[in-house]
């Protein structure tokens, strides 16, 4: 135990003397949290709309006012011709074009039905789906107003009174959903990248041979190399949780002790991957690129940016070996839903298995040759 403490003391001194590593540990994660929490969002808040009003009636003006009211719509102009509006759509100056045909009000009054056209730039499919949903909801809301006027004005009562209640995220704030995932991302970067580069650094500067001929046992060397980043990553998580609560007002409904218990086990898995990468490489550049390769695959398939359920079946099955996916899911469940250990026991024990396998492979692969 005393040997491990000496190695820990040496590692912490080495970390704090390394001027290139300190910003990676303390500055970059915090900056990423503050930037990504606002930047990474699928909410559409600024939709440029061009209107082609060929009817110029009272009803067409009422419909236009419906689109003018929401904050996320900006009416960029009125076009007398559909082709001109379509040209603005092609140039990227407009996201949507609303076409109100001639005779719109007449058709509504005479036949109780009329046609409209809403054209959406669908280069970005997910954004187009959201913009289209916004536009259709506004049109349906206006259609409901017309039904009320047609069937008797204030005397008409709808048979169903619908009210909405959103659980776990009442304000539908996308930041509330993203911040727990970003915290998992930051912890992963600290654990995987720095642990892999730290061991390789011993190879680059030539001190690994001195360690190999020393009486230090293999498990003592591995523990001394990994534990500093285990402590640092937990500290980063604590600081990130404080920022999430104070700056972003993210609720932490579940147990904080459970969060750190899950994170402590998850970090063993991530550190094991980092150590395993260090045994396969000889330079810090090689370790960084290999760690980046695995990190990108894990993060993109983790459900941080897109739901896992929307992925192909083969990708969902492959996600079984993705530790980041398990951690993000557990972190969101504990923070936002208040889940107990019984609710996350299955992914937790998957992480435990992953940690055992990763650390065993890393220790087996590391050869202490005298």
pLDDT at 161: 61
Shared-domain flag, residues 193 and 59: no
12 located within any domain: yes
pLDDT at 279: 83
pLDDT of 42 over the 90 cut: no
Residue 152 — pLDDT band, cuts 50, 70, 90?
low
pLDDT at 159: 57
Q: What is the mean pLDDT of the chain?
A: 84
pLDDT of 332 over the 60 cut: yes
Shared-domain flag, residues 196 and 72: no
- Rounded CA gap, 217 and 211, in Å? 10
Shared-domain flag, residues 342 and 218: yes
Shared-domain flag, residues 150 and 230: no
Q: What's the rounded mean pLDDT across residues 65-69? A: 89
Shared-domain flag, residues 136 and 30: no
pLDDT of 280 over the 90 cut: no
pLDDT at 266: 95
pLDDT at 21: 72
pLDDT of 366 over the 90 cut: no
24 versus 190: which is more confidently predicted? 190
Structure tokens at 164: 């909405």
Shared-domain flag, residues 109 and 237: no
Q: What's the rounded mean pLDDT across residues 315-322? A: 88
Shared-domain flag, residues 59 and 25: no
pLDDT at 370: 46
Q: What's the rounded mean pLDDT across residues 303-323? A: 84
Q: What's the rounded mean pLDDT across residues 50-61? A: 90
Prediction pTM value: 0.78
The alpha carbon dihedral of 342, 346, 351, 356 has a sign of positive
Q: What's the rounded mean pLDDT across residues 62-84? A: 88
pLDDT of 80 over the 50 cut: yes
274 located within any domain: yes
Shared-domain flag, residues 66 and 181: no
Shared-domain flag, residues 29 and 52: no
How many domains does the chain contain in total? 2
Shared-domain flag, residues 302 and 181: yes
pLDDT of 357 over the 70 cut: yes
pLDDT at 170: 78
Shared-domain flag, residues 149 and 78: yes
Q: pLDDT digits over 97-134, tens only?
A: 999 999 888 888 887 788 889 999 988 777 888 888 88
pLDDT of 1 over the 60 cut: yes
Structure tokens at 139: 């049109």
85 located within any domain: yes
190 located within any domain: yes
Closest by Cα among 362, 213, 364, 217 to 287 = 362
Shared-domain flag, residues 261 and 355: yes
Q: pLDDT digits over 333-355, tens only?
A: 999 999 999 999 999 999 999 99
Burial environment of residue 41 by CB neighbours within 10 A (0 to 12, 13 to 18, 19 or more): middle
Domain residues for 240? 2-40+171-365
């Amino acid at each position: 135990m005393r040997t491990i403490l000496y190695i820990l003391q040496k590692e912490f001194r080495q970390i704090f003397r390394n001027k290139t590593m300190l910003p990676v540990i303390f500055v970059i994660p915090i900056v990423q949290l503050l930037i990504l929490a606002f930047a990474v969002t699928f909410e559409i808040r600024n939709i440029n709309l061009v209107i082609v009003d060929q009817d110029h009636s009272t009803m067409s003006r009422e419909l236009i006012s419906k689109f003018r009211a929401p904050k996320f719509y900006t009416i960029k102009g009125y076009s007398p011709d559909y082709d001109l509006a379509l040209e603005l759509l092609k140039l990227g100056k407009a996201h949507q074009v609303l076409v109100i045909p001639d005779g719109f009000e007449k058709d509504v009054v005479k036949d109780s039905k009329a046609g409209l056209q809403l054209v959406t730039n669908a280069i970005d499919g997910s954004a187009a789906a959201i913009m289209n949903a916004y536009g259709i909801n506004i049109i349906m809301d206006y259609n409901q107003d017309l039904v009320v006027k047609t069937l008797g004005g204030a005397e008409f009562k709808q048979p169903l009174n619908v009210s909405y209640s959103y659980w776990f995220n009442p304000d539908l704030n996308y930041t509330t959903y993203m911040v727990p995932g970003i915290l998992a991302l930051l912890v992963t970067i600290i654990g995987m990248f720095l642990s892999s580069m730290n061991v390789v650094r011993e190879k680059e500067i030539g001190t690994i041979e001195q360690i190999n001929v020393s009486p230090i046992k293999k498990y003592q060397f591995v523990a001394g190399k990994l534990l500093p980043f285990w402590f640092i990553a937990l500290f980063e998580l604590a600081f990130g949780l404080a920022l999430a609560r104070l700056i972003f007002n993210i609720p932490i409904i579940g147990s904080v002790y459970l969060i750190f218990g899950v994170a402590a086990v998850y970090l063993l898995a991530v550190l094991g991957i980092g150590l395993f990468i260090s045994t396969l490489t000889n330079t810090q550049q090689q370790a960084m690129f290999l760690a980046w390769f695995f990190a990108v695959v894990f993060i993109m398939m983790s459900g941080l940016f897109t739901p896992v359920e929307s992925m192909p079946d083969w990708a969902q099955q492959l996600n079984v070996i993705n530790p980041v996916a398990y951690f993000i899911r557990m972190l969101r469940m504990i923070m936002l839903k208040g889940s107990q250990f019984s609710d996350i026991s299955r992914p937790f024990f998957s992480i435990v298995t992953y940690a055992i396998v990763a650390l065993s492979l890393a220790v087996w692969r590391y050869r202490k040759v005298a």
